[in-house]
Amino acid sequence: MRKQILTVEKDLKKGRIVERLNRFILRVEFDSGSEKIHLANPGALSTVIAPDREVLCEPANGQNRKTKYNAFAIETDNIYVTVKSTFANRIFSRILKKKLLKRFRKYSSISREPPFPTEGRADFLLENENDGSRGYAEIKSCTHVEKGIAKFPDRPTKRGRRHLKTLTKLRKESFDNHLVFVVQRSDAKKFQPFREVDPKFADLLSQAKENKVKIHAFTTRFEPPDLYLDKEDLPIDLI
């Protein structure tokens, strides 16, 4: 039985990509004409964005917005890739609440975006319901897949490197820390760090693993309007 994570309640408007104007703006052709839409993802998205690909757009909130829509999902090789970076956090939150992943069933979320004891913020503070231990969870949105391999990051990530250093340091202080890669597409067969793009991140990920930070990866499948958990335990290859 498939595990449903959530249903997208907003009406999604279908269009076709014309071009990517800059990191955060796409030009999209709708039946009503061409419009600029917001792309809430700073990644390269080189395996996702291409002219004439179908894009599903959600209405934008906020009165002072220059764009009326946000890109939500892009069709790539007959599957939808959800492209909002922050959507990965919502996905993980729902998985925790519904206890869809076996390895996270003993955890509950204490708070969202809690401050680290040192500096910066995490995505989640978790508590182990069995023994009361606590730890931080960082969630990374992954949309890049090549030849069945999901890779992160697709641009160098100073923020990601900083998070890895913090998770590793706090793990040495007995925090039960997690790094979770949410692969927002269903065609990946395994996960690797994108060493060619950010070798320092790849090295820090290996160090985090050696210091017992728990590394996880899973894929999702979007069949509008429903999002499903796909591969629950994506193999991880720390090259």
Instruction: Return the domain boundaries, the chain.
Output: 3-82, 87-229
Beta strand 134-142 pairing with 178-183:
parallel
pLDDT of residue 63: 67
**Mean pLDDT (the chain, rounded):** 95
DSSP letter, residue 102: G
pLDDT of residue 134: 93
Q: pTM above 0.85?
A: yes
What percentage of the chain carries pLDDT values higher than 70? 100
Decide yes or no: CATH 2.120.10.30 for domain 3-82: no
Q: What is the band of 64 on the pLDDT scale with cuts at 50, 70, 90? A: confident
Whether 203 shows a pLDDT value over 70: the answer reads: yes
The mean pLDDT value for 162-166 works out to 95
DSSP letter, residue 218: E
Whether 73 shows a pLDDT value over 90: the answer reads: yes
Whether 1 shows a pLDDT value over 90: the answer reads: no
Q: What contacts 12, CB < 8 A, 6 or more positions away?
A: 56, 57, 58, 72, 73, 224, 225
DSSP letter, residue 184: -
Whole-angstrom Cα distance, residue 15 to residue 133? Answer: 47
Whole-angstrom Cα distance, residue 34 to residue 15? Answer: 9
Classify domain 87-229 at the CATH topology level. Answer: Trna Endonuclease; Chain: A, domain 1 (3.40.1350)
137: helix, coil or strand? Answer: strand
Q: Would you say the CATH fold of 87-229 matches that of 3-82?
A: no
Q: What is the strand order of the sheet 178-183 is part of? A: 3-7, 226-229, 214-223, 178-183, 134-142, 124-128, 107-112
Whole-angstrom Cα distance, residue 178 to residue 68? Answer: 36
* Contact in structure between 40 and 74 (CB atoms under 8 Å): no
Write the pLDDT tens digit of every residue in 99-114.
999 999 999 998 999 9
Burial class (CB in 10 A: 0-12, 13-18, 19+), 162: middle
Lowest mean pLDDT among 14-18, 94-98, 128-132, 194-198: 128-132
pLDDT of residue 162: 95
Alpha helices in 71-157 (DSSP H): 87-98
